[in-house]
Amino acid sequence: MNAPDKSASREAWILVGPTATGKTAVSCELARRLDAVVLSADSMLVYKGMDVGTAKPTPSELENVSIFGINLVPPSESFSTGRWLESAAAAFETGRDVIVAGGTGLYVNALINGINAPPATAAARSATAALFEIGGVEALRMRAEELAPGSVSTLDDPDNPRRLMRLVEKLMAGVVAPDAPQRLAGCGCPVAGLDFPAAALATRIEARILKMFEDGLLKEVAELRREYPGFSQTAGKGIGYAEAAAVLDGRIDYKEAIQMIAARTRRLAKRQRTWFRHQLDVEWVRGPENEHDVARAADDVMEVWKRHGKSKISTRGECS
């Protein structure tokens, strides 16, 4: 077989949706059916050792499946969308079909449209850094909304200082129009999405959190802290990890941690759902109710893909 033409137009099957909707199990099932590889589009799965709290694929889910986009850097290291996009190219160099599965809208955006924003100037970086030092994340949010109302809602993690600073830098450069977020231009066809009604998803989220603690979340965080005394901002504020660290430090108890993780996860799911509904043309199907329902959900996703075909993607990136 000839090596894949890296200059050729690339395409992928895309599966999106909020957290805890079964994307990992369904994408792995589909990869086995299609002899495809999976590319994870999840900003927390890139961190090595952060397994339990991020619900990384289990050995049984990964049976006979190759997955890219996970375990890329240690938790102590910062990681950008541009770096993820560069790493994503490896999945397309396998010569096999690629299934992109995840809930990080910025990654999906970059994969579909590339990253075309120019690097921030030294002056812009200095200005946003000073703004953050004086007023914190709230000052960054206010500045972004002044420059482009609704722009903060395009972020899947609006509490992340680095992403807010980058957003303000882009807005200062005139990259994002001062209007409500616009739908992505590059996809060209509907993609498949998994979701549940809000109440059902909340129940799933609570069950997932309890399982994380049962599976050793506190032990995982304790071991990570010994190995990496300094976490990056993104890893350190990861949902579940910040709360587990607070339990270990005696600042909150186990029940408080569960409540806080559940609340943050529900807010994340709401933001993800809003982002995908505004930014992509998604044909939604119900996620799997349990492990015995994965095949049904995979069948439904396949029907969506059959109707609309693959999505054109780009791996043009900018490391920032």
pLDDT for residue 93: 95
pLDDT for residue 118: 60
Which letter, b or e, does each residue of 43-62 get, where b requires 16 or more Cβ atoms within 10 Å of its Cβ? bbbbbbbbbbbbbbbeeebb
Of the options 3.40.50.300, 1.10.3720.10, 3.90.226.10, 3.30.499.10, the CATH number for the domain spanning 10-115+187-313: 3.40.50.300
Span 70-78, average pLDDT? 94
Average pLDDT, rounded, for the chain? 87
Q: CB neighbours (10 Å) of residue 240?
A: 26
Domain ranges of the chain: 10-115+187-313, 122-172
**pLDDT, greater one: 143 or 90:** 90
**pLDDT, greater one: 245 or 178:** 245
Span 147-163, average pLDDT? 77
- Contact in structure between 212 and 257 (CB atoms under 8 Å): no
| C-alpha to C-alpha distance for 190 and 310, rounded to whole angstroms | 9
Is 4's pLDDT higher than 70?
A: no
Span 137-153, average pLDDT? 82
3 state DSSP class of 14: strand
| C-alpha to C-alpha distance for 46 and 254, rounded to whole angstroms | 27
Span 244-265, average pLDDT? 97
pLDDT tier at 273, thresholds 50, 70, 90: very high
Is 182's pLDDT higher than 50?
A: no
pLDDT for residue 32: 96
* φ/ψ (deg, to 5) at 99: -110, 115
Is 160's pLDDT higher than 60?
A: yes
**pLDDT, greater one: 102 or 169:** 102
| pTM: predicted TM-score of the whole model, two decimal places | 0.80
Is 6's pLDDT higher than 80?
A: no
- Contact in structure between 14 and 91 (CB atoms under 8 Å): no
Q: Could you please report the per-residue DSSP string of 238-294?
A: -TTHHHHHHHHTTSS-HHHHHHHHHHHHHHHHHHHHHHHHHHS-EEEEEPPSSGGGH
Query: Sign of the CA dihedral 20, 23, 24, 25?
Result: positive
What are the CA-CA distances from residue 201 to residues 41, 52, 207, 214, 310 (Å)? 20, 19, 10, 20, 28
∠ Cα 60 74 250 (to 5°)? 90
Is 299's pLDDT higher than 90?
A: yes
Written as six digits, the tokens of 109 are 């955006």
- Contact in structure between 26 and 288 (CB atoms under 8 Å): yes
pLDDT for residue 11: 94
What percent of the chain is modeled with pLDDT above 70?
A: 88
